[in-house]
Each structure stands twice: as structure tokens, then as C-alpha cells.
Structure 1
Amino acid sequence: MRVSRVLVLSALLVLLLVIVGANEYAVARPSRRTQDIAYVAATEASFSTERHRLDVYAPRRKAADSQPVVLFIHGGNWDSGSKSIYTFIGRRLAKQGVVAVIINYRLSPEVQVPAMADDCARAVRWTQQHIAEYGGDPQRIFLMGHSAGASLAALIATDNQYFTRLGVAQNPVRGVILDDPAGLDMYDYLLKKQYAGDEQYLTAFGRDPQGWKAVSALYHLTAASPPFLTFVGGKTYPSIASSSQKFRSRLVELGVRPQFTVLPDKKHIPMVLQLYWQHNVIYRQLLPFISKAN
């Protein structure tokens, strides 16, 4: 991932998502959004007024039973991104009977990846404790992420220490949906540094190779890890394609049959933009995936 390309594509993503978000106001939205809920106590020394916030999207039509929950973690190269440009994901999920949680988390250079993962775990803990108030089932929490957000989702789903440090005895993640995941094996990526500008990632990941391995979900996979539903763009970055295949192969070695789909001709940014359309392939596979885990 060359720096110039990443910056251009990131800017394009923001522009397209702003346009998409604006269009949401012209679309019927059968959901209720509760905005800017703090998932970290304001009294904590690390509290960030902006970044320790989440939005909940619940179906307007109340169901007789509690609904499954999908918590979405945005991407953005570990140094950018905001929940505010992913409202369409919350709306689309809620329209299909899912309680959605879209979160912010602290970014580089303010913090490094372990602190970002801590934030995501704290958002999951808040969800486990409070989502019943919005019609969600705290026993059916799934994670979903794009790019860097997918790496954070995979990490806290496979490395239980992020929850045990919070006093949560059992990892509450029932399954993970990975959308063109970056950073599943940053240990290998940063050892090689094959692309110009790869030094930029040391701001978020530090300079210790053991630290790179510690935050790479690949090295935490076990047969007991939650199930993964993975989507990779056919024209995504080579590093994402290769690490995703390595992740898949490791699951197979562990005796797991992962659900893995390559979407032909899709590049990295369109892999998240397609979530604007309710009937795209990710939602079509997501719904039975979260239902099967009941």
C-alpha cells in the first residue's frame, strides 16, 4: 500500500461516503438512531470526548424476541475515519432486523493499535451491558469491520486478553464479518516492508516485531475462535489478498471451514461502499451467518 495511493483512495472514500450519507436523508429509513453514546466513563483519564462514542441503530418495528447485534468498526489506515460516515450501514442493518452499533475509537498518532483494540473491546462490553435496552440480544453480538477496522475486529475476537482485562470472563463475540481486511498479519508485512512509505505504519504499530505479532489476529487463531465470514475484493491490494488467504489457510489447518468469498473486480474502497445497497452479497450472506449462530 503506497502512501500516495492510500491518501488518494482515502480522500475518495470520504468524498463518496459523504455523498452517500447526504442521500440517506432522501431515503425512507425504518430505523431509530441513538447518537453519540459514551462507552467509556467520562471520569476515566483516557476518555476522549469525540472518539469514545457510538451510535445504535434499532429497527422501528419492535420484534417479539431480541434481535442479533452487529457492531461495525470503521477502517481508515488506523489514523482516520469516523462513525458519522457509515450511517448507511446502520440503517441497512436495522432495516433487515439487526440492531447495529457503529463506533468511533482513538486513532494514530494519539494512540497505537493495542489501545485502539482496547477501545473496541470496551465498546463491545458496553454493548453487552446495554444493548437489550434497544431490542438487541447481548448473547448474539457479532463484529464487522472494513480494512483496518476488520483487523481490529479479528484481533479482539481471537485474543481474549482484551476482555479479561475488562473483567469480562468470556469473549462475547459470536462471529466476525471481515470486509477486505487489512493487517491480519502485520508481523509479516512490516518485516518485509515491500512498499514505499511502509514506515508510516510504525506510528500505529511501533517498532517492536513482537508487538506487530501481538496485534496480528493470524497468530491468535485457535479451533475455538469464533466463526469468520470473509469477503475480499478481486482487485484489492496484494497485501490484503495474500494475508486474507493466509488467514483462511490457518483456519483450515485448525479444522475449521471458513466462509470465504472473493468478489471479482472489486477494489478496496468499493468493498465498503457496496454496503449502501441492502441486497448486496455481503448482507445476503451476513443474515444467515448471524442466524446460524443462534
Structure 2
Amino acid sequence: MKDSNPNKARPKTYTTDLANDEMTSHLSQKTNKLKLAGASIAAVGVMTFAAQQAQAISALSVLNTFSPNGGVGVTKDILYGEEPLQDLDIYYPKPLAQAMQSQNSIDKGIINDSYPMIVFVHGGSWESGNKEQYAFVGQSLAQAGYITAVINYRKAPEHVYPDYVKDTAQAIAWSYNNASDLHADPKRFAVIGHSAGAFNAVAAVSDEDFLAPYNVSPNDISAVIGIAGPYSYDFRQYSGGTAFADDATPDDVMPDRHIKGKQPPYLLLTAENDKVVHDRNTIKMTQALKDYGATVETGEIKGASHATSIAAMSSPLRWLNDVRAQVLNYLNKSL
């Protein structure tokens, strides 16, 4: 593991919110409403990129109200930088969360095991969304045994490319450099992004210049998973173009044209019924990575829309599609 950033922020307190029977009962009472919410998400129509993302985020926020947290722990609002929105939340698997409740256990070094770690980057057309709205992803991955950082990053239009990619790289590097302090193994470290967050994740890792300031290289990352990411398109034709400088071109910013450094393996997933991000983005990114010599797997999430390609990570909506199974299968063999 490389030396930590001397200016790194460290988590100071831990809070654990354990699931209970009351929550389970409450969730059961809401089953029918949740199915309607899932159907509503799946029915998102053809609109502009930004408008679709806003609708998806509104629907996804509801999931956190009803998702049982499965006994996972969470540390909130850890700073990885000094600018607004440069913070993250860490979700811990249940056994670790329970052990961390006892300060004596920590003091005596009883927690000897280290866990694989994931950094998750949310979508939202680079203009909206936040880590709180995607708590269900952190909970879902922690339930599966992964310490998970769900990050914030600065948004457009105040911050255009490459600010949000730089933030993503800084959050990845902070998590990697602090992994041992978080009871995680930096040698089993993955990055996952959805939609605009997939762009951020893939861009931040595939071009070594983004991680280099923090003494981290792409090859330090064990795996990258992009879900429905817009890696190769002409943003000037869409409302999401506000996330890029007025004089920017696709050649200036698209990650399929800026691959540099020894690469980790990738899994790039598309949603079968995605009307927001077309599969040609994944096709072009896959080809660019393979041409560079990287290992890439691809997959399709059957029956998924752009929104449900991430919503189905939550406990109430796992019946919608198999995105969670595909993600976990890849993580299990990669980490």
C-alpha cells in the first residue's frame, strides 16, 4: 500500500444503525406500494438526459425510506477534500459494524479481518443527486460483505468537466489510502459508477493522470464496474452539455479517447430498455479499452430501464432485474 496523503481526512466517529423486527414489519406493510414505485420507475419515458435523471433520483430517494439496512453500519460525512461536496459515507458489513460498536474490541485489536472495499459514484447528469439518495447502494453492498464508500462530488453548472472527475479520483484515492484504517484491504478494491457516475468512475481510473497526484495508479484498482455509462457521445446535442465547457468537444473529454496507464479489469453493463444512455457508449468504451490492452467484460441487464439498472440494487426492488447478481458475481471473482 502506498503512503497516505499527508492531508488526508480520517473518520473520527462511528455510528451503527442495526435493522430490527419493527423495520422488517414496516417494510412488509409497504410491499404493494413499493411494487407500484418500481413500476413507476420502470415506466420512465423518453425525455432529455437531465430530465430522466431527475425523475430517477426522485424515485430512488423513496427506496431509502423502505430499504431494510440489514444490520449494516455507517459513518457519515467524512471529508476527502476541502471543497463543498467533497465528502463521503462509509457503510460496513454487519459483523464489522457489530464489532465496532464495542470500543473495547477495537482497542484490544479483536477486529483482525479486513474486508474488500468499493467506492460507489452516483449519477444525475453531473447536475443532481447526492450520497444520501444512494444510501441503498451502500447498504446493499455492505450486506453482501463489502465496505462501501458512497461519495459526493461537485456539480455542474458551477463545476464543469474535469472537476467532477477530479473529485471522483480524489475520493477513490482517499478511500484507497485509508483502506487499512477502515478495516479494508486495499488489494481488494473496486470502483462502481452508474450513469454520469459511471463516466466519472471510468474516466478517473482509465486516465492515470487523475489518480497520479495522490500516488495511486489505475493498476492499484482491482476492478471497475460501469453501469449504463455515457462514455462516448456528443454532449453538445443534449441538455447534459451544461456539464462541459462551452468550447469543449467529445474528443476533449470522453473517456474512450483518454486511456493512459496500466489498466485494471472492467465490467461494463448496459440496460436492455435504456432510453437515456444508448449501448453504443459501452460498445465504444469496450473497444477502446481492448485496443489499449485492458481486460473488459460486458453484460446486459435484462428488462432494465436506465433508472432500474441501479434501483434494483435495493432490497425492495431486487425482483426487477439481476443487476445486483451480475455486480456481485463479478466482484466475487475479481476481489
Q: TM-score band, normalised by the shorter chain?
A: 0.7 to 0.9
| Matching residue's letter, 2:76 | Q
Once residues 178 and 122 of structure 1 are traced to their aligned partners in structure 2, the CA distance between those partners, rounded to angstroms, is 18
Per the TM alignment, residue 257 of structure 1 is displaced from its structure 2 partner at its CA by 5.0
CA-CA distance at 1:226 after TM superposition? 1.4
The residue identity in structure 1 corresponding to 2:202 is A
Matched residue, 1:44: none
Is 1:185–1:213's contact at 8 Å kept on the other side of the alignment?
no
Alignment of structure 1 residues 1-294 onto 2, 5 Å: 4-24=47-67, 27-41=68-82, 47-48=83-84, 51-62=85-96, 64-164=112-212, 166-171=213-218, 172-182=220-230, 184-186=231-233, 189-190=234-235, 193=237, 198=238, 200-209=239-248, 212-221=250-259, 224-237=262-275, 239-254=277-292, 256=294, 258-277=296-315, 281-294=322-335
> Structure 1 residues 28 and 85, CA, compared in 2 at 3 Å: closer, same or farther?
closer
How much has 1:251 moved relative to structure 2? 3.5
Secondary structure class of the residue paired with 1:54:
strand
Rounded to whole Å, the distance in 2 between the matches of 1:84 and 1:254 is 36
Q: TM-score, normalised by structure 1?
A: 0.83
The 1:238/1:81 distance shift into structure 2, 3 A limit, reads closer
1:223, 1:256 within 8 Å by CA — same for their partners in 2?
no
Describe the shift of the 1:230–1:18 C-alpha distance in structure 2 as closer, same or farther (beyond 3 A): same
Q: Could you tell me the percent identity over the aligned residues?
A: 25
Q: 1:87 deviation in Å? A: 0.9
**Could you tell which deviates more after superposition, 92-101 or 8-17?**
8-17
Give the structure 1 partner of residue 30 of structure 2: none
Q: Residue by residue, what CA displacement relative to the aligned partner does 1:18-48 show, whole Å, maximum 9, x if unpaired?
A: 2211113xx252211000111114xxxxx11
Please, which moves more after superposition, 5-14 or 223-232? 5-14
How many pairs are equivalent? 273
Residues 68 and 290 in structure 1, CA contact (< 8 A), matched pair in contact too: no
Structure 1 vs Structure 2 CA RMSD:
2.5
Q: What are structure 1's unaligned runs of at least 5 residues? A: 42-46
Q: 2-side partners of 1:21 and 1:288: how far apart? A: 24
Distance 1:241 1:271 in 2: 13
Gaps of 5+ in 2: 1-44, 97-110
CA distance in 1, matches of 2:56, 2:194: 12
- Matches of 1:163 and 1:251 in 2, distance apart? 18
Residue 14 of structure 1 aligns to which amino acid in structure 2?
I
| Structure number with larger C-alpha Rg | 2
Deviates more, 1:142-151 or 1:217-226: 217-226
TM-score (norm: length of structure 2): 0.74
Mapped to 1, the partners of 2:69 and 2:293 lie a distance apart of 44
Q: CA deviation at 1:260?
A: 0.9
